[in-house]
Amino acid sequence: MAENTENETRQHGPGCFFCSTALPLMEKFWSEATKDHFRTSRIEFLKGMRSLIDDRIEQLNRTAEGGKGTHVPVE
Protein backbone atom coordinates (compact mmCIF):
# COMPACT_ATOMS: atom_id res chain seq x y z
CA MET A 1 0.00 0.00 0.00
CA ALA A 2 1.58 3.32 -1.06
CA GLU A 3 0.79 6.60 0.65
CA ASN A 4 1.69 10.04 -0.71
CA THR A 5 2.21 12.88 1.76
CA GLU A 6 3.74 16.24 0.87
CA ASN A 7 5.96 15.18 -2.06
CA GLU A 8 7.02 12.04 -0.21
CA THR A 9 6.25 8.46 -1.18
CA ARG A 10 6.30 5.91 1.60
CA GLN A 11 5.92 2.17 1.13
CA HIS A 12 4.06 0.24 3.81
CA GLY A 13 4.56 -3.49 4.12
CA PRO A 14 1.49 -5.61 3.36
CA GLY A 15 0.07 -7.48 6.33
CA CYS A 16 2.18 -5.64 8.90
CA PHE A 17 0.02 -4.24 11.72
CA PHE A 18 2.41 -1.38 12.40
CA CYS A 19 2.78 -0.43 8.71
CA SER A 20 -0.85 -0.80 7.73
CA THR A 21 -2.64 0.36 10.89
CA ALA A 22 -0.55 1.95 13.63
CA LEU A 23 1.76 4.16 11.52
CA PRO A 24 -0.98 5.71 9.33
CA LEU A 25 -3.09 6.32 12.46
CA MET A 26 -0.18 8.02 14.26
CA GLU A 27 0.65 10.13 11.20
CA LYS A 28 -2.96 11.26 10.92
CA PHE A 29 -2.96 12.66 14.44
CA TRP A 30 0.58 14.08 14.52
CA SER A 31 0.72 17.86 14.70
CA GLU A 32 2.69 19.88 12.16
CA ALA A 33 5.30 20.56 14.86
CA THR A 34 5.75 16.81 15.39
CA LYS A 35 6.08 16.17 11.65
CA ASP A 36 8.65 18.98 11.39
CA HIS A 37 10.63 17.55 14.31
CA PHE A 38 10.87 14.08 12.76
CA ARG A 39 11.73 15.53 9.34
CA THR A 40 14.53 17.59 10.89
CA SER A 41 15.71 14.52 12.77
CA ARG A 42 15.97 12.51 9.52
CA ILE A 43 17.90 15.35 7.87
CA GLU A 44 20.35 15.60 10.78
CA PHE A 45 20.87 11.83 10.75
CA LEU A 46 21.74 11.92 7.04
CA LYS A 47 24.11 14.87 7.59
CA GLY A 48 25.86 12.81 10.26
CA MET A 49 26.22 9.89 7.85
CA ARG A 50 27.59 12.26 5.19
CA SER A 51 30.13 13.56 7.71
CA LEU A 52 31.31 10.01 8.48
CA ILE A 53 31.67 9.25 4.77
CA ASP A 54 33.57 12.51 4.15
CA ASP A 55 35.95 11.74 7.02
CA ARG A 56 36.61 8.26 5.65
CA ILE A 57 37.24 9.62 2.14
CA GLU A 58 39.76 12.13 3.56
CA GLN A 59 41.49 9.36 5.50
CA LEU A 60 41.76 7.17 2.40
CA ASN A 61 43.07 10.09 0.34
CA ARG A 62 45.81 10.76 2.90
CA THR A 63 46.96 7.14 2.86
CA ALA A 64 46.65 6.69 -0.92
CA GLU A 65 49.97 6.26 -2.68
CA GLY A 66 50.59 9.57 -4.47
CA GLY A 67 46.90 9.96 -5.21
CA LYS A 68 45.29 13.26 -4.43
CA GLY A 69 41.53 13.34 -4.28
CA THR A 70 39.42 16.20 -5.50
CA HIS A 71 37.50 18.11 -2.85
CA VAL A 72 33.88 18.61 -3.89
CA PRO A 73 31.89 21.04 -1.73
CA VAL A 74 28.48 19.72 -0.70
CA GLU A 75 25.76 21.94 0.65
Domain parsing of the chain, residue ranges:
1-30, 31-64
Q: In this predicted model, which residue has the larger pLDDT, 3 or 41?
A: 41
Q: Sorting pLDDT into bands at 50, 70 and 90, what band is 2?
A: very low
Q: Report the candidate in 17, 21, 34 with the shortest Cα–Cα distance to residue 3.
A: 21
State phi, psi for 7 to the nearest 5 degrees.
60, 25
Q: pLDDT tens digit string along 15-74? A: 788 878 888 888 888 888 988 998 899 999 999 999 999 999 999 888 875 656 677 888
pTM of the model: 0.51
